[in-house]
Chains A and B, each alone.
Chain A
Amino acid sequence: MFPLIEIDNVSKAFTIRHNRTNSLKSSFIGIFHKRFRETKETLWALKNVTLSVAPGETLGLIGRNGSGKSILLRLIVGIYRPTQGQVRFPNGARVGAMIELGVGFHPELTGRENVFLGASIHGLSRGEVEEIYPGVVEFSELDSFMDVPIKNYSSGMHARLGFALAINLNPQVLLVDEIFAVGDEAFQRKCIEKMEEFRGEGKTIIFVSHAAETIKNFCERACLLDHGSLVFLGAPSKAIEEYHRLLAS
C-alpha cells in the first residue's frame, strides 16, 4: 500500500536576521551606519528528514523545545515550503488544519463566530457549518461561552474549542501539536478517547507531545527529533528511552 504522507529528505532553513531591519527606515540607515546593518545567518531547523506515514497510523513526534516538531507539521499542512526535499501525498490525502494552541482564532470574535469563520476557511458551506456546530459546542462543553469573545477565554477553553472544531471538520489526517498542556484532565481524557475513535475509523494521526505516557500508550510509532535531525524512529517506548538519554547527556 502507498504511504499516506511521504517526507522525502526534507530540510528547512530559516534566515535568522541579527539586528533585524524589518523597516524601510532602518534598511536605509543601514546603508550609512554599520551598526544598524543586518547580518544574516542560516538556521537549519530541519535536516534531511525522511519519514513516511502509512494510512491509519498513529505517529508520535517527540523532541526538545525547538527541535523542529511544529515545523514538520507545518510542512505537512503546506504552510511552510521545504527548502530541500519534498513532501508528497501519494493518495492525494486531504490534510486539514493542525491543531495547536489558538488555531488561528480571531480574538475579537465570539466563540460562535470563530467556529463559523474557521470552518468556512476550511471550505465548509454555511449549511455544513450549521450541521457540525452543535457537535463542536457539545464536545468543547463551552455552551455558555459561545457568545464571549475569544480574547476572554482561558487558555484551556481556547484549546477545547480548537480541538472540538478540528475534529468536527473530520479531516483524513489529524495533526495535533501539544494541546493537552493546558487542558484539564477530564478534557485530556476526552481528547484521547476521541482520537481513539478516529483511529478506529482508520484515520491517520500525527501527534506532538511532551507527555511520555500518552505517547507510549497511544502511538504505534514515535519519531524523535533533535536539532532538526531525525535521530530515532520506531517503537514509542524505545523512542522515549532515547529521548531521556538525550536529555540526560
Chain B
Amino acid sequence: MLRVDTPNFPYFLLVGILPWNFFAQSLMMSTSSIVDNGGLIRKVWLPIEVFPIATVFFNLAQYLLAMAVLFPMASFFFRVPLSRSALAFFVVLPLHVIFTLGLGFFFAAATVFYRDVKHFTEIFLMLLFWLTPIIYDVRVLPESLRATVYANPLSFFITSYQDIFYRQIVPDPFHLLVLFSLSGLSLAVGYIVFSSCKVRFAEEV
C-alpha cells in the first residue's frame, strides 16, 4: 500500500529509524538516569545535570556510529549518493540533540517524584512511533492525516532527516524555524523544571 509510493523503501526506513532510536533510547535512559544513580547522588555532591546530559551524549555517540557504518553501506547498495543537502545534517542534528535533552531533563525529574513515569514513557514512545513518519512517508498520507502527524513535534525532525538524506533536498526555512523553536522550547522548559526541583533529588531518590 504505502510502500508502493516509496521507492527504495529500506533506505527510507533506515533514514528515519536511526534518529528515532537515538531519540527513544535517550528518553528511556534519561527517564531513569537520576533514580538509577540515587546511591551516588545521596552520597556525593555533584552537578546532577550530568546524568541526563551524559545519557543523551552516550546515545548520540551510538547514533553517529550507526550512521557512519550504515550510510556508506546503504548508499552503496541503494545507489543513493550523498548530495550536498547532507550538510544540513549539521544544523538538524544539534537541534535534535537539544530537543531530546530538554525532554530528557523533564522526564528525569518527573521520575524522581512519580516512579511510574518510566512505564508511561514506554507506552508514550510506542504511540509516538506510529505518529511519526518513519515507516511511512508523510507525503503519501491524505491531507487530513498529515495535520495529526505534524502535531507530533518529532515528525518535523524525522522529515528533515528524510529531506536531507532520502529526498536530498535542504529542508525549507520554515521547517528549520520550527525545529529551532521546538528545540529551544523543549530545552527551556525541561531545564527550568529540572533545576527548580534538583535540590530535592537527593532527598527523594
Query: Footprint of B on A, CB under 8 Å?
Result: 14, 22-25, 27, 74, 77-81, 97-98, 100, 102-106, 121-122
Contact = CB atoms under 8 A, between A and B. Distances in A.
Given A77-B45, A79-B42, A104-B40, 18 more contacts: A22-B113, A23-B114, A23-B115, A23-B116, A24-B116, A24-B117, A74-B42, A77-B44, A79-B43, A79-B45, A79-B202, A80-B202, A97-B44, A102-B43, A104-B44, A106-B39, A121-B40, A121-B46
Interface of B: 39-46, 113-117, 120, 199, 202-203
A78 B115 CA distance: 25
Nearest to A96: B44
Contacts, number: 47
9 contacts: A24-B114, A24-B117, A77-B45, A79-B42, A79-B44, A102-B39, A104-B39, A106-B39, A106-B40
A74 B202 contact: yes
Contacts of B43: 79, 97-98, 100, 102-104
Contact of B203 (A80, A98, A100, A103): A80
Contacts of A24: 114, 116-117, 120
Contacts of B202: 74, 79-80
Nearest to B199: A81
A104 B114 CA distance: 23
A24 B107 CA distance: 13
Nearest to A118: B44
A78 B42 CA distance: 10
A22 B118 CA distance: 12
A156 to B, nearest CB: 18
Contacts of A105: 39
Nearest to B42: A79
A74 B115 CA distance: 24
Contacts of A78: 45
Contacts of B44: 77, 79, 97, 103-104, 121-122
Contacts of A23: 114-116
Residue among B39, B45, B115, B202 with the highest chain A CB neighbour number at 10 A: B45
A114 B117 CA distance: 30
Nearest to B41: A79
B38 to A, nearest CB: 10
Nearest to A123: B46
Contacts of B41: 79
Contacts of B113: 22
Nearest to A95: B45
A57 B101 CA distance: 45
A56 B202 CA distance: 29
A121 B46 CA distance: 8
B114 A22 contact: yes
B203 A14 contact: yes
Nearest to B202: A79
A24 B110 CA distance: 10
A96 to B, nearest CB: 9
Contacts of B40: 104, 106, 121
B116 A25 contact: yes
A104 B42 contact: yes
B32 to A, nearest CB: 14
B37 to A, nearest CB: 9
Contacts of A25: 116
Contacts of A121: 40, 44, 46
Contacts of B45: 77-79
Contacts of B120: 24
A60 to B, nearest CB: 21
A24 B121 CA distance: 12
A209 to B, nearest CB: 18
Residue among A24, A105, A106 with the highest chain B CB neighbour number at 10 A: A24
Nearest to B45: A78
Q: 6 tightest A-B contacts by CB? A: A104-B43, A23-B116, A104-B40, A78-B45, A24-B114, A79-B202
